């Protein structure tokens, strides 16, 4: 899973923006039509706005112009942005694109669709659900991991941000109060996790605050005098602003918000929730599939993958039932490390074993490296097995593959190969870092579509076969477990949010069909409750990429080149599945002709 906490899927290299914007002021330079030039200028202007509106993300991507600011989470700003979105849509629809270049016709199509999607979602008031157990205001100390903190000024900028934290918490509380008034409330089962996370911020001294961790070990490049100044100011700010702000948040959350949360779990239980789910199912998958159709695809995939699992059980000469085999995989000590350190070492070794094999399948690889980090322990109990964090646009930070070391006794060895292929190479890091190096408009370079990005990640797991991985049958079963995991998602996500399934029913269905441990399954189910529809994108995207590969192999025969196929899939960046299909069909015709 490609994970970005608290921020939008956009980014900026500020110098690149300035250059692009200045060039766009010279219409005849590219011999563009007036409308095409207006469109390019609008792209620059809207991207600049997205960065200014998201200063945390700007810092994350290496643009430090807003390094002391937070985003504006106020209801007024949200409504103002919606009006702005409608204005941009009207402006775009007045343009004539007949004379646009083919590339800009695609850019226009994607850009307009993105703004229409945003506008269509606004009516459902999901912005009145500000809290998530998978990130947010109660875990803002983790933001320090994504920020450039290399010199005295950057640390002081972070402290200056923290001095404004109380204002951000007030905005969260205002959104939540509006949610109570409008009866747009989250499930209580998730908010109990948020409540526990807020309690972790309620400490009696700065020294026990998670926010102080960023200041304990400062870079050697910072002088001793400056280090002392940084720590002194951090202690004052955490004591006088951060801790009291979280006391206020805890009082509100515990006494006013949590008691009003709903006991149900499906998004269909909010006003017009079923229509909202139908909308986001289309948006996340970039298809016209209905929730019922997606549910049935999931059931069929579960059946198919289970048959593949039976073959592995025969291979290892298992004589018991499927349920007994899953229990064996969940409980036998041979499949687990005793310590987080051992688990981390194996993740690292597996990733570096994969890297040199990639030249077999890819003609181009990203120049930016990646590293591995443990998921912070404050959030590890409530999050999934791993996630990926993209590099900084200015090259100041590599990509990172974050792995969960909490309770290593529930993190099986047989999942490590598939997970590493998905999150690092040739999965998320290859695709995302490569896209960042393409000559694309910023909204495409630093954006993407979940169905493509996560579909590619799941497809990358299947490339283990091509790379000579999965030699151990249990590791192959692990890959099938991960594929099953994504198939089960189609069933339980649509089940909970559209068909009235209970949380326990979804947990039991998951446990009955996949070898993932109960801890992982519960966290996964709660993730789907928290983020309706997102989990649909993985399997739908993977199935489309596999379908297009099979069509290419069939039509091109001996002329099919896997490196060229992958190049064609990746060279346009993250795109909707319907555009990917158009591109691959065009590529096939070019090869034939």
User: Angle at Cα 161 formed by Cα 155 and Cα 166, nearest 5°?
Assistant: 140
User: Angle at Cα 398 formed by Cα 392 and Cα 404, nearest 5°?
Assistant: 110
Q: What is the 8-class DSSP label of residue 373?
A: E
Q: pTM of the predicted model, to two decimals?
A: 0.89
CB 185 within 8 A of CB 175: no
Distances (CA, A) of 378 to 135, 146, 325, 406, 412: 11, 16, 33, 10, 22
Give the contacts of 366 (CB within 8 A, at least 6 positions apart). 429, 430, 433, 434, 436, 437
CB 453 within 8 A of CB 431: yes
Q: What is the 8-class DSSP label of residue 259?
A: G
- What does residue 158 show for φ and ψ, rounded to 5 degrees? -65, -40
The label of the residue with tokens 């948040």 reads 249
Length of the chain equals 593
Instruction: Give pLDDT tens digits for 295-315.
Output: 999 999 999 999 999 999 999
CB 571 within 8 A of CB 444: no
CA 125 to the chain's CA centroid:
22
CA dihedral sign, ordered 295, 296, 297, 299: positive
CA dihedral sign, ordered 343, 345, 351, 354: negative
Q: Give pLDDT, residue 7.
A: 32
- What does residue 399 show for φ and ψ, rounded to 5 degrees? -75, 155
SS3 576: coil
Q: Give pLDDT, residue 32.
A: 62
Instruction: Give pLDDT tens digits for 427-436.
Output: 999 999 999 9
- Helical residues (DSSP H) of 365-470, grouped into ranges: 416-423, 428-436, 442-445, 450-462
User: Angle at Cα 526 formed by Cα 520 and Cα 529, nearest 5°?
Assistant: 145
Of 372, 408, 404, the closest CA to residue 389 belongs to: 372
User: How does 423-436 read in b/e, with b if 16+ C-beta sit within 10 Å?
Assistant: bbbbbbbbbbbbbb
SS3 2: strand
Of 441, 454, 535, the closest CA to residue 488 belongs to: 535
SS3 sequence of 198-238: HHHHCCCCHHHCHHHHHHHCCCCCCCHHHHHHHHHHHHHHH
Q: Give pLDDT, residue 518.
A: 87
In the chain, helix, strand, coil percent, each to 5? 70, 5, 30
CA dihedral sign, ordered 85, 91, 97, 100: negative
Strands 399-403 and 386-389 turn out to be antiparallel
Q: How far apart are CA 207 and CA 22, in angstroms?
A: 48
- Per residue of the chain (593 residues), give pLDDT as tens: 544 433 332 232 222 232 233 333 334 444 566 999 999 999 999 999 999 999 999 998 889 999 999 999 999 999 999 999 999 999 999 999 999 999 999 999 999 999 999 999 999 999 999 999 998 999 999 999 889 999 999 999 999 999 999 999 999 999 999 999 999 999 999 999 999 999 999 999 999 999 999 999 999 999 999 999 999 999 999 999 999 999 999 999 999 999 999 999 999 999 999 999 999 999 999 999 999 999 999 999 999 999 999 999 999 999 999 999 999 998 999 999 999 999 999 999 999 999 999 999 999 999 999 999 999 887 888 777 899 999 988 888 899 999 999 999 989 999 999 999 999 999 999 999 999 999 999 999 988 899 999 999 999 999 999 999 999 999 999 999 999 999 999 999 999 999 999 999 999 999 999 888 888 899 999 999 999 999 999 999 999 999 999 999 999 999 999 999 999 999 999 999 999 999 999 999 999 87
Q: What is the dihedral of CA 59, 62, 67, 70, to 10 degrees?
A: -20
Q: Give pLDDT, residue 3.
A: 47
């Amino acid at each position: 899973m490609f994970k970005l906490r608290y921020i939008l899927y956009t980014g900026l290299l500020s110098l690149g923006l300035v250059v692009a914007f200045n060039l766009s002021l010279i219409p005849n330079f590219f011999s563009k039509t007036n409308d095409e030039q207006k469109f390019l200028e609008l792209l620059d202007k809207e991207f600049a706005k997205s960065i200014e509106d998201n200063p945390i993300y700007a810092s994350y991507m290496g643009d430090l112009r807003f390094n002391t600011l937070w985003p504006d989470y106020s209801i007024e700003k949200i409504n103002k942005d919606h009006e702005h979105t409608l204005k941009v849509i009207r402006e775009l629809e007045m343009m004539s694109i007949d004379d646009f270049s083919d590339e800009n016709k695609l850019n226009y199509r994607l850009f307009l669709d993105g703004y229409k999607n945003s506008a269509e979602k606004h009516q459902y008031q999901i912005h009145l659900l500000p809290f998530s157990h998978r990130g947010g205001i109660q875990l803002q100390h983790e933001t320090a991991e994504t920020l450039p903190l290399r010199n005295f000024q950057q640390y002081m900028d972070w402290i200056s941000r923290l001095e404004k934290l109380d204002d951000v918490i007030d905005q969260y509380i205002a959104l939540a109060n509006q949610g109570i008034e409008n009866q747009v409330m989250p499930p209580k089962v998730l908010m109990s996790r948020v409540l526990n996370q807020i309690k972790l911020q309620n400490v009696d001294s700065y020294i026990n605050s998670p926010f102080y961790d960023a200041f304990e070990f400062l870079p050697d490049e910072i002088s001793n005098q400056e280090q002392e100044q940084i720590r002194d100011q951090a202690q004052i700010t955490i004591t006088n602003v951060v801790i009291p702000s979280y006391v206020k948040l805890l009082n509100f959350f515990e006494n006013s918000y949590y008691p009003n949360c709903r006991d149900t779990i499906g998004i269909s239980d909010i006003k017009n929730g079923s229509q909202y789910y139908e909308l986001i199912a289309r948006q996340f998958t970039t298809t016209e599939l209905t929730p019922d159709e997606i549910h049935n695809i999931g059931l069929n995939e579960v059946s198919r993958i289970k048959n593949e699992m039976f073959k592995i059980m025969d291979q290892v000469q298992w004589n018991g039932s499927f349920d007994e085999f899953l229990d064996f995989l969940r409980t036998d000590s041979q499949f687990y490390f005793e310590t987080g350190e051992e688990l981390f070492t194996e993740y690292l070794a597996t990733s570096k074993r994969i890297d040199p094999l990639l030249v077999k399948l890819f003609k181009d690889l990203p120049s930016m490296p990646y590293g591995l980090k443990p998921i912070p322990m404050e959030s590890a109990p409530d999050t999934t097995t791993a996630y990926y964090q993209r590099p900084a646009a200015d090259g100041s930070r590599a990509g990172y593959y974050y792995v969960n070391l909490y309770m290593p006794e529930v993190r099986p060895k047989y999942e490590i190969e598939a997970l590493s292929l998905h999150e690092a190479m040739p999965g998320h890091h290859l695709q995302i870092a490569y896209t960042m190096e393409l000559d694309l408009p910023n909204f495409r370079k630093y954006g993407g579509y979940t169905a493509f990005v996560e579909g590619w990640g799941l497809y990358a797991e299947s490339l283990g076969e091509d790379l000579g991985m999965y030699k151990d049958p249990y590791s192959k079963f692990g890959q099938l477990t991960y594929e099953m995991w994504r198939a089960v998602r189609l069933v339980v996500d649509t089940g909970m949010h559209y068909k009235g399934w209970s949380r326990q029913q979804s947990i039991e269905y998951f446990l009955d069909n996949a070898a993932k441990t109960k801890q992982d399954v519960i966290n996964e189910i709660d993730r789907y409750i928290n983020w309706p529809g997102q989990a649909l994108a993985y399997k739908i995207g993977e199935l489309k990429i596999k379908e297009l590969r099979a069509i290419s192999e069939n039509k091109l025969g001996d002329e099919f080149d896997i490196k060229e196929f992958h190049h064609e899939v990746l060279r346009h960046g993250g795109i909707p599945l319907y555009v990917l299909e158009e591109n691959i069909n065009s590529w096939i015709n070019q090869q034939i002709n």
